[in-house]
Chains A and B, each alone.
Chain A
């Protein structure tokens, strides 16, 4: 069967309709979608990244420049700063949200009576469009008429933080909003992970007299490790692409304190219409993401090997 020749009609029919056919048609819809909807844009993107494109008399003309985009990168006043800020942002939010998401998932998995309330509440931040999140938080942070300032003045506090207007606080302010917004993402995946742990395992540990902390440390955490890593991987890629939320909240300021690379790519692509350079930057960022992804896969293999 494995050696079945493609030209043999009987084998072909067996593959498509026989007992083993499930293997093929189960993956077929995905492949069809990938080929039809993503093959062309990906080829275009790769081609653009080594070209310079321009509209001349209504036609988009492309000129091959090889690695010429490296020159543009060297001249770019923002890309370096933006990549640095993005890396800080990504590492901070992924680590914080992994912790908060895990803690919440463990805690809520222990509740019964109010479980449904907690679960609903936690989903809410995910249902608000990022534009609205950015706008509402800029209203909350605003120094002149914002919520926090108003409360602090009522409380008689003398020192009023500037939040998004303070170059030292701006990135932290943005991270706070992100943690509020995206912890739920980690929570949902991790809760599913906890619920997938066979109850018999937890029972066994409990019978052995393990306390809560030991249960988490020695049963839940190791069982959950692969799921946690997948959640971190997905979240890392998402965090690299953070856009609307920061765009509305700070537009990258003050100074260059909250410039992130996705905002810069958008500007290069859309406003400056340097398609080639934007494609090149996208691939560059993908290379950074790949470092993280490779790490997660390596960690995941180590963990699975330990688990046996």
Chain B
């Protein structure tokens, strides 16, 4: 037997050192010796899930407790602040054996993890698994089509949606009724409403998120039929900012974001929008759907009971395009089968219709259409669950490519510059067009 140093053997240690000094071959970060080094580290623990500490977390935690109570299976949670999720997931999938039996992955990180091969296909864990058709597709968020290099209906199932977050349009129902306004369906109607209610500094007509300008702006760009990038029928990719509608979308965003907003419009984050709305100083806002339960919380909000929500407006009522921003639960590839199966067991349990009802009532965001429809008339959550149900046919997921983070970098930078007139809208559009084209061409896509 080798002498043990801590939990790993001296031989393994020397092997690791040897591998480093040998020039590290092809693979410096994920060193295969380090992989074996960690192999015998963990005994089989009860299930551990990596989950982000988001405002909907308490709903998730309640379901975990319920699961333990019902099944007797123990679940540990690694509750991590949002910015740490990506790195923790990546680290865990690179170790000898993942410390997590299941990891929550946010929509924007889906392409990286799905493409990387770091996740275990669900059918390899359970050959009989089928995605219930009541689980909303969110643009095939569960599946990865490795031939197309993007999510697709024929792809392999790599994750199961566990949080159905999307964008909603919120408004002050009490004020709208008083003034005789209907909830708007188009940007034009939104502008008229903003104009009517604007009375700064007591009341602002509209405000948009500026930190960063990306996700919400996606609903504009998609509605104008100028998606950042789009796979055309001929198999090539097109760049939306190269179409004239791209500029129109930018100008609409600038108008709605700046004209009726507080003076610090250039520095508004999601928390600021929530604060403005919750303190009764904003007539309408387009923001994250998961924020809805906050407006009923008297600790935070003085507008509880007076809120309405509906589908995010578009250029026309038909072209409304709210973006999705959901989460999937996945299982790292470096898990033994029984651990992955134990993780999947919980996910299956969580996504049944009844449990999704309980999930919503506990403050989380369900992923099932039947759940939303049943909750639409609920006294407490009905005002927003009905808006979720209504939004489903309009949902537009982001084009989930591994290159999307680079596209996001270009868009959020140029839009931020245009927002404060560092550059003009026209300059921003032409820069974004050429930068996105370069990103796509460099990555080897055929761009039309």
| A interface with B by C-beta (< 8 Å) | 39-40, 43-44, 47-48, 53, 55-62, 75, 77-78, 142-145, 160, 162, 164-167, 170, 250-257, 267, 270-273, 275
Contact = CB atoms under 8 A, between A and B. Distances in A.
B24 A145 contact: no
A31 B268 CA distance: 48
Interface string B105-116: 000000010011
Given A61-B27, A144-B281, A270-B86, A255 B20 contact: no
B417 A40 contact: no
Given A62-B26, A165-B266, A256-B416, A56 B117 contact: yes
A275 B416 contact: no
B431 interface: yes
A254 B266 CA distance: 5
Interface string B327-366: 0000001100000000000000000000000000000000
Interface stretch (B41-49, B272-280, B384-392): B272-280
Given A55-B118, A142-B272, A164-B267, A77 B416 contact: no
B263 A143 contact: yes
A120 to B, nearest CB: 30
Interface in B414-448: 414, 416-417, 419-420, 422, 431, 435, 438, 442
A62 B269 CA distance: 37
Given A44-B28, A55-B116, A56-B116, 8 more contacts: A60-B27, A62-B27, A77-B435, A142-B272, A253-B212, A255-B417, A256-B413, A273-B90
A62 B28 contact: yes
Nearest to B109: A271
B431 A251 contact: no
Interface in B272-294: 272, 275-276, 279, 281
Interface stretch (B166-174, B375-383, B404-412): B404-412
A56 B268 CA distance: 39
Contacts of B413: 77-78, 256
Contacts of B212: 251, 253
Interface of B: prevailing SS: helix
B250 interface: no
Contacts of B77: none
Contacts of B405: 267, 271-273
A275 B29 contact: yes
A267 B269 contact: no
A141 to B, nearest CB: 9
Interface of B: 20, 24, 26-30, 86-87, 90, 93-94, 112, 115-118, 201, 210-212, 262-269, 272, 275-276, 279, 281, 333-334, 405-406, 409-410, 413-414, 416-417, 419-420, 422, 431, 435, 438, 442
Given A58-B333, A61-B27, A272-B409, A253 B281 contact: no
A162 B86 contact: no
B411 to A, nearest CB: 10
Given A77-B409, A251-B211, A251-B212, A270 B87 contact: yes
B245 to A, nearest CB: 23
Contacts of A55: 112, 115-118
A11 B96 CA distance: 44
Contacts of A43: 20, 24, 28
B211 to A, nearest CB: 5
Nearest to A249: B267
Counting chain A CB atoms within 10 Å of each CB, which of B117, B264, B435, B442 scores highest?
A: B264
Given A61-B26, A253-B210, A162 B263 contact: yes
A40 B262 CA distance: 51
Nearest to B279: A145
Contacts of A164: 264, 267
A142 B262 CA distance: 11
B275 A145 contact: yes
Contact of A77 (B265, B275, B333, B410): B410
